[in-house]
């Protein structure tokens, strides 16, 4: 047994109550020696903190008493994490178990919270070294998600189109989109060279000032003190240009294929200055947490890829600027470059749209033209009106698709080719190194080493536009066949895994629609409608991320149990089907849709923790974190959304659908890897002998369940909803029993309401619930009978063992007749 294992054994005895704190301390002291204990004792026992805070404190006190020290005297003492963060202290020794992981994770959360609070308090500018830019994540397990890295050979845009769904070589016209009857379109490529395009001559190319290799932080035009230098230039006389440049502002359209605004910039016949601006504040109100740590990291990795595409294809490159105020920065750029036009693809979050409206109106007043294009969604939210449609089913995707059919004014069209050229012109404004945008800043330990929480994220994803195409093609060549029936599987890659690419516009929804339309998977294409729906919903309900869309639900009772919340966030709930996706999320920044439902159901319906907490956590940790989609989904799960979920995922039984053999759990919860499939989703039911053989000690290397009475917890959740509904009878439709919501026009309309809520509201004391929404697939496989059988066998075996040993000890043999 290694020293670490012996220490763990002693700690287990302590937590189970067999030995007292001072005894425990002495045992560890005798094992490790005075010197090691003085310097490392607190690190060694950190693993106790999350679950055994009280016991941990007792050990701390013994330790301090023994060495006669006060907490303030020890910089590395970690009685609370705030102090740890303040002191810049991080655990450095992980040993062979998860203690270091736990510690770093705790600290990471703290740092993240700290930054969030700092921003809320108006402190965002220069982040000091004590307050690293964003939440830290620990190095952790080494496994990669399955099958994610294979690349179709010889991949190229044209190749992608050829090898994809369409057997014919296809390229798309760069001319205007045709219509939305995609299936009737004959795909022919008619390159229409305009005068502007012909102007893309070699002179422009040789004059471009970008670097061919813009690996992170190596932008050629970078100066060491860009801010000061830029100030000097502001005062200089603007360079007169015969053909003033256009500024192309990259935002959530980080691609060259099917990028209407980029094509427009190219067709302007003017030099193009591509820019990227960054400021957390400008990306959304803090309560939306629009720029979580994971999404920022994605940007940090994706921007150099885009830049190198621009370099290779157009000999142009991106100007990066960190800017507290985008308008001021743009004015500065226009002034220094003499550009006269801004070209953008629109974004649709209401707060971003009004920011853009303001920017454009100020620029216009200064004689600068603003060209805005549409490509982020299939349908612009503003074009979809509810007026023409009956309100039944409002909030559901079916209703939304019908609205789109009736109202949409502009056709979706076909994807367009990349621009032929993006001449860089002779003048190029200064660029900051990408590092200075603080998108990829990783926290540091006290000794200066970096906590690289993004390691597995980097290994799991290709952050380029090509990566988006490859993911799509991989799916269309394989996963799509299983999508209709088995998209829920956590243990297989049956979904597209393109959400971060879609979020950052590395592939357009129109391209996905066009590529996927022959694949006979309406369910998949419908997902694009879901995406549009969320933006429409956000445009109608701008407070979607924080305020219940059914206002009466503000009165719903929620648990404030921080220990439960932390256990959920870290994947330490003791329910493997919840812990596996939460760990996958932490390590890779992603989990599939079904698993998101499982973990959301658990947080809301079993732990009774508000959906807002779930939303915020996802915003910070998902690579595809998207204010509109994330808020819509959490609201729907949290009962207050317009499309209330009519189901609750059971944290054990749902495994039947998404992880029938337990392989998914084995991958992300390696502690349970050796457990037989019959127990993998409910280790607490495994007999001690089986647990022993699998190397599992519950409460030691895998947590006990944080709640055990699932049925009771669910009942409580039902009662809480019914209480809200009973408090506001005027918000219930007397005819249907559905909840009512008030539209901005003042009209009250019924919205989809879970059947069991309706039933329970009218039968609050009834015991039965004919509409029980909990999804159970597990029992059908007779696993419970098997579990019972194993337990009986184990009981028999252990009883016999006890009998034998008693017999050997000369004690009276037990009576076995009851067996």
Ligand X SMILES: Cc1cc2nc3c(=O)[nH]c(=O)nc-3n(C[C@H](O)[C@H](O)[C@H](O)COP(=O)(O)OP(=O)(O)OC[C@H]3O[C@@H](n4cnc5c(N)ncnc54)[C@H](O)[C@@H]3O)c2cc1C
Among 21, 41, 20, 130, CA closest to 86: 130
For residue 372, the surrounding DSSP H or E stretch is strand 369-373
Please give the residue ranges that form the binding site for ligand X (CB under 6 A): 487, 495-499, 502-503, 527-528, 530-531, 534, 592-593, 596-597, 600, 618, 622, 624-626, 629-630, 633-634, 637
Nearest distance from residue 107's CB to ligand X, in Å?
25
> Edge to edge, what strands does the sheet with 341-345 contain?
319-322, 272-278, 246-249, 341-345, 369-373
Nearest distance from residue 634's CB to ligand X, in Å?
5
**172 is an annotated ligand-binding site residue:** no
Angle between helices 21-32 and 34-44 (to 10 degrees): 120
Nearer Cβ to ligand X, position 340 or 531? 531
Residue that the structure tokens 């991989």 belong to: 474
650 to 153, 667, 771: CA distances (angstroms) = 42, 20, 15
Nearer Cβ to ligand X, position 395 or 429? 395
Nearer Cβ to ligand X, position 498 or 642? 498
Phi, psi of 126 (to 5 degrees): -70, 110
**483 is an annotated ligand-binding site residue:** yes
Nearer Cβ to ligand X, position 89 or 590? 590
CB neighbour list of residue 173: distance below 8 Å, 6 or more residues apart: 188, 189, 190, 192, 414, 416, 417
**495 is an annotated ligand-binding site residue:** yes
Q: What is residue 414's three-state secondary structure? A: coil
Angle between helices 710-727 and 755-762 (to 10 degrees): 70
Nearest distance from residue 593's CB to ligand X, in Å?
3
Question: Could you give the CA distance from residue 288 to residue 277 in angstroms, rounded to a whole number?
Answer: 20
Angle between helices 576-588 and 562-570 (to 10 degrees): 70
CA angle 601, 604, 606 (to 5 degrees): 80
Nearer Cβ to ligand X, position 590 or 759? 590
771 to 265, 396, 400, 646, 755: CA distances (angstroms) = 56, 20, 26, 9, 6
Nearer Cβ to ligand X, position 28 or 294? 294
Question: Which residue(s) pair with 277 in the sheet?
Answer: 321
**498 is an annotated ligand-binding site residue:** yes
Nearest distance from residue 490's CB to ligand X, in Å?
11
Nearest distance from residue 403's CB to ligand X, in Å?
16
Question: Which residue(s) pair with 649 in the sheet?
Answer: 775
Nearest distance from residue 623's CB to ligand X, in Å?
9
Nearer Cβ to ligand X, position 432 or 496? 496
Nearest distance from residue 493's CB to ligand X, in Å?
8
Q: What is residue 742's three-state secondary structure? A: strand
User: Is 91:104 a contact under the CB 8 Å cutoff?
Assistant: yes
Question: Torsion over CA of 434, 437, 439 and 441, rounded to 10 degrees?
Answer: 90
Question: Could you give the CA distance from residue 471 to residue 477 in angstroms, rounded to a whole number?
Answer: 10
Nearest distance from residue 166's CB to ligand X, in Å?
19
Q: What is residue 479's three-state secondary structure? A: helix
Residue 595's Cα: distance from chain center in Å? 12
- Sequence length of the chain is 819
User: Is 415:514 a contact under the CB 8 Å cutoff?
Assistant: yes
Tokens for 691, please give them. Answer: 């647990």
Phi, psi of 797 (to 5 degrees): -65, -45
Nearer Cβ to ligand X, position 376 or 453? 376
Nearer Cβ to ligand X, position 530 or 558? 530
Nearer Cβ to ligand X, position 104 or 643? 643
Nearer Cβ to ligand X, position 23 or 543? 543
CB neighbour list of residue 770: distance below 8 Å, 6 or more residues apart: 759
User: Is 162:169 a contact under the CB 8 Å cutoff?
Assistant: yes
Region label for 88, one of left (φ > 0), alpha (ψ between -120 and 50) or beta (otherwise): left
Residue that the structure tokens 């066998």 belong to: 793
**496 is an annotated ligand-binding site residue:** yes
Residue that the structure tokens 């029936």 belong to: 485
**563 is an annotated ligand-binding site residue:** no
Alpha helix segments (H runs only) across 517-659: 522-540, 562-570, 576-588, 593-601, 611-621, 627-637, 655-658
Nearest distance from residue 618's CB to ligand X, in Å?
5
Nearest distance from residue 530's CB to ligand X, in Å?
4
Nearest distance from residue 528's CB to ligand X, in Å?
6
Nearer Cβ to ligand X, position 100 or 479? 479
Tokens for 631, please give them. Answer: 């808020």
Nearest distance from residue 508's CB to ligand X, in Å?
11
Among 337, 367, 330, CA closest to 249: 330
Nearer Cβ to ligand X, position 187 or 526? 526
Nearer Cβ to ligand X, position 308 or 592? 592
**20 is an annotated ligand-binding site residue:** no
Tokens for 228, please give them. Answer: 């000061």
Question: Could you give the CA distance from residue 289 to residue 613 in angstroms, rounded to a whole number?
Answer: 11
**531 is an annotated ligand-binding site residue:** no
Nearest distance from residue 469's CB to ligand X, in Å?
14
User: Is 611:577 a contact under the CB 8 Å cutoff?
Assistant: no
Residue that the structure tokens 């998860």 belong to: 98
Question: Could you give the CA distance from residue 515 to residue 602 in angstroms, rounded to a whole number?
Answer: 36
Nearer Cβ to ligand X, position 359 or 493? 493
Nearest distance from residue 531's CB to ligand X, in Å?
4
Among 633, 658, 639, CA closest to 558: 639
Nearest distance from residue 630's CB to ligand X, in Å?
3
Q: Which residues are annotated as a binding site for FAD?
A: 483, 495-499, 524, 624-626
Q: Which residues are annotated as a binding site?
A: 483, 495-499, 524, 624-626
């Amino acid at each position: 047994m290694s020293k670490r294992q012996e220490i763990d054994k002693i700690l287990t005895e302590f937590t189970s109550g067999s030995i007292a704190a001072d005894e425990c301390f002495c045992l560890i002291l005798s094992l490790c020696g005075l010197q090691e204990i003085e310097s490392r004792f607190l690190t060694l026992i950190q693993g106790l903190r999350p679950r055994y805070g009280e016991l941990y404190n007792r050990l701390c006190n013994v330790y301090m008493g023994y060495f006669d020290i006060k907490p303030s005297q020890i910089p590395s003492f970690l009685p609370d994490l705030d102090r740890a963060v303040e002191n810049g202290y991080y655990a450095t020794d992980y040993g062979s178990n998860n203690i270091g992981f736990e510690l770093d994770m705790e600290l990471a959360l703290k740092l993240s919270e700290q930054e969030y609070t700092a921003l809320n308090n108006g402190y965002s500018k220069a982040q000091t070294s004590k307050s690293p830019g964003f939440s830290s994540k620990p190095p952790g397990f080494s496994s990669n998600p399955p099958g994610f890295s294979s690349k179709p050979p010889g991949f190229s845009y044209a190749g992608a189109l050829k090898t994809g769904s369409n057997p014919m070589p296809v390229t798309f016209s760069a001319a205007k989109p045709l219509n939305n009857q995609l299936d009737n379109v004959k795909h022919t490529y008619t390159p229409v060279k305009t005068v502007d395009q012909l102007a893309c001559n070699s002179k422009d190319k040789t004059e471009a000032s970008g670097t061919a290799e813009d690996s992170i932080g190596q932008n050629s035009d970078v100066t060491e003190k860009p801010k000061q230098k830029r100030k000097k230039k502001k005062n200089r006389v603007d360079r007169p240009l015969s053909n003033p440049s256009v500024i192309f502002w990259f935002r959530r359209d980080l691609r060259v294929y099917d990028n209407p605004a980029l094509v427009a910039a190219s067709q302007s016949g003017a030099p193009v200055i591509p820019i990227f601006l960054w400021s957390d504040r400008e990306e959304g109100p803090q309560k939306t947490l629009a720029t979580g740590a994971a999404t920022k990291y994605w940007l940090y990795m994706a921007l150099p890829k885009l830049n190198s595409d621009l370099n290779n294809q157009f000999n142009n490159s991106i100007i990066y600027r960190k800017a507290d105020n985008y308008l001021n920065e743009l004015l500065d750029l226009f002034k220094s470059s003499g550009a006269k036009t801004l070209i953008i693809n629109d974004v649709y979050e209401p707060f971003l749209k009004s920011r853009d409206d303001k920017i454009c109106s100020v620029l216009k007043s200064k004689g600068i033209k603003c060209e805005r294009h549409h490509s982020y969604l299939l349908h612009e939210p503003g074009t979809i009106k509810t007026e023409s449609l009956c309100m039944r089913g409002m909030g559901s995707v079916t209703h939304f698709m019908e609205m789109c059919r009736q109202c949409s004014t502009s056709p979706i069209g076909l994807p367009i080719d990349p621009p032929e050229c993006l001449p860089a012109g002779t003048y190029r404004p200064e660029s900051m190194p990408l590092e200075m945008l603080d998108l990829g800043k990783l926290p540091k330990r006290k000794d200066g080493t970096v906590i690289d929480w993004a390691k597995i994220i980097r290994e799991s994803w290709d952050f380029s536009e090509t990566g988006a195409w490859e993911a799509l093609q991989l799916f269309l060549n394989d996963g799509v066949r299983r999508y209709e029936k088995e998209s829920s599987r956590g243990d297989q890659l049956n979904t597209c895994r393109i959400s971060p690419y879609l979020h950052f516009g590395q592939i357009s929804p129109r391209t996905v629609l066009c590529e996927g339309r022959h694949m006979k998977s309406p369910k998949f294409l419908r997902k694009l409608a879901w995406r549009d729906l969320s933006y429409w919903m956000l445009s109608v309900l701008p407070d979607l991320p924080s305020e219940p869309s059914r206002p009466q639900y503000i009165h719903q009772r929620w648990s404030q149990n921080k220990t439960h919340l932390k256990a959920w966030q870290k994947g330490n709930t003791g329910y493997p089907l919840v812990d596996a996706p939460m760990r996958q999320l932490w390590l890779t920044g992603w989990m599939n849709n079904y698993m998101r439902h499982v973990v959301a159901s658990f947080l809301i319906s079993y732990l009774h923790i508000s959906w807002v907490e779930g939303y915020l956590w996802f915003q910070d940790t998902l690579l595809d974190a998207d204010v509109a989609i994330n808020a819509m989904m959490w609201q729907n799960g949290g009962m207050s959304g317009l499309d209330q979920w009519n189901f609750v995922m059971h944290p054990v039984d749902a495994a039947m659908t998404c992880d029938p053999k337990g392989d998914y759990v084995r991958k992300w919860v390696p502690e349970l890897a050796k457990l037989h499939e019959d127990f993998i989703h409910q280790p607490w039911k495994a007999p001690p002998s089986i647990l022993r053989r699998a190397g599992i000690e519950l409460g030691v290397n895998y947590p006990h369940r944080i709640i055990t009475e699932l049925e009771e917890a669910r009942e409580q959740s039902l009662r809480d909803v019914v209480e809200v509904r009973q408090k506001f009878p005027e918000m219930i439709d007397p005819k249907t029993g559905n909840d009512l919501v008030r539209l901005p026009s003042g009209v009250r309309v019924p919205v989809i309401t879970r059947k069991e809520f309706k039933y329970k509201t009218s039968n609050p004391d009834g015991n039965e619930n004919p509409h029980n929404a909990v999804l159970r697939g597990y029992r059908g496989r007779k696993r419970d009978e098997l579990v019972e059988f194993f337990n009986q066998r184990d009981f028999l075996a252990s009883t016999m063992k006890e009998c034998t040993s008693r017999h050997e000890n000369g004690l009276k043999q037990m009576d076995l007749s009851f067996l």
